[in-house]
Structure 1
Amino acid sequence: MPKAILYTAVTLDGYIADAQGGIEFLDHPLFRLPDEDYGYSAFYESIDAVIMGHNTFEKIKSFEGSYPYSEKHSVILSTKQSLADGVSEGIEVSNEPAEVALNELKSKYGTVWIVGGGATNAKLHRAGLIDEMILTYIPTTLGAGIPLFRSNESTANWKNISTRTYPNGLVQIHLVKA
């Protein structure tokens, strides 16, 4: 059954990145465990496609040096007609509303990872299109930054289907729409 899963790290005060879009807080030595990927590899193998906003795409490329999700069909949401750098086969730039693009992806590919960012998360949450969330809470606060749901004006109830606490204090919760 097709589904959309928001999988991300979030600070205790609800931010997915600092005000400049940085995620350096994830690299703090307190939050690293040897040989632990916090379920990322298994999650990545379970998805068929990814969707993200233009700013998230640009930030990921700047961190990684190249696009790390090339094995999965990707949709980059953008108001620009094209993205000059980093767009290759398997990466589609969509000018459609996030809701339309996600529904098309789900119908063609199945399980879709909502990579973010905050504006994309909020649009898809507001439209009721996020089926599951896997949130890894990082025991830190930023005070300001990009919230998990930027400009979110909607409500929803979620059922916790699993919680995992790691020795370094990270807590991962897997939620499904109630």
Structure 2
Amino acid sequence: MSRKIILYIAASLDGYIAEADGSIDFLTDDTSSEVEAFDSYTQLLERIDTVVLGRTTYDQLVNELSPDQYPYEDKISYIITHRPKAGTDQLIFTEEQPEQLIQRLKQEEGKDIWIVGGSQIIAPLIANNLIDEYVITTIPIILGKGIPLFSETDTAIKLKIVDSQIEHGLITSFYQA
């Protein structure tokens, strides 16, 4: 059985994962700061041993959201970047294309894999239908513009909704490919 690829992410009501300038301040407002208390988030962390994210998302994480301690230090992290740097056994900076990395990781032994973000990582995975589960938390804000969660694709991908939850004033929807 191959590892499942899970996109677990938050977006504004109008579908943006960041503001036009790349800021993610809307994710850390009063209501959304409690996302880590979500049962779904805790369950996700138990299911995975690997996280995949882009360099911009990684930089936001270590500089803005969790500057004192990398929150996934007990997982293997792959940071996809055009500016690789030395890492560790647990923190791997790579220039590998997202779809190639995911196809390779799916064949390796381990738990499921979390796609953290951002949009440049997500788009090729969707285009190649490599995401098995979509877990999307909707933040009740309309940004009007920003970095979209989903880019245009040539092919529609039909999903099946399997659950939805309301916690801390946020809606989390669970889909399977």
Q: How many residues align?
A: 173
What amino acid sits opposite 1:105 in the alignment? L
CA distance in 1, matches of 2:32, 2:140: 8
Shift in Å, 1:55: 1.2
In structure 2, the partner of 1:107 is 107
In structure 2, the partner of 1:96 is 96
% identical aligned pairs: 34
Asked if 1:60 corresponds to 2:74, the answer is no
**Paired residues of 2:81 and 2:93 also in contact (CA < 8 A):** yes
Shift in Å, 1:152: 4.0
**Paired residues of 1:8 and 1:134 also in contact (CA < 8 A):** yes
- Residues 137-170 of structure 1: per-residue CA shift (max 9 Å, x gap): 11111111111124544420100000112362x1
- Residues 37-96 of structure 1: per-residue CA shift (max 9 Å, x gap): 35212211111201111111111111211422111111111123x226xx3331112212
Shift in Å, 1:32: 5.4
SS of 2:11's equivalent in the other structure is: strand
In structure 2, the partner of 1:83 is 85
CA distance in 2, matches of 1:55, 1:49: 18
SS of 1:99's equivalent in the other structure is: helix
| Structure 2 unmatched ranges of 5 or more | none
SS of 1:48's equivalent in the other structure is: strand
SS of 1:79's equivalent in the other structure is: coil
**Paired residues of 2:47 and 2:111 also in contact (CA < 8 A):** no
Residues 26/38 of structure 1: CA separation in 2 closer, same or farther (3 Å cut): farther
In structure 2, the partner of 1:136 is 137
Asked if 1:69 corresponds to 2:50, the answer is no
TM-score normalised by L of structure 1: 0.87
What amino acid sits opposite 2:173 in the alignment? I
Residues 90/139 of structure 1: CA separation in 2 closer, same or farther (3 Å cut): same
CA distance in 1, matches of 2:24, 2:4: 27
Shift in Å, 1:28: 2.4
| Structure 1 unmatched ranges of 5 or more | none
Shift in Å, 1:27: 2.6
**Paired residues of 1:8 and 1:135 also in contact (CA < 8 A):** yes
Q: CA RMSD in A?
A: 2.1
What amino acid sits opposite 1:61 in the alignment? V
- Residues 80-130 of structure 1: per-residue CA shift (max 9 Å, x gap): 3x226xx33311122121111112222223410000101111110001101
SS of 1:57's equivalent in the other structure is: helix
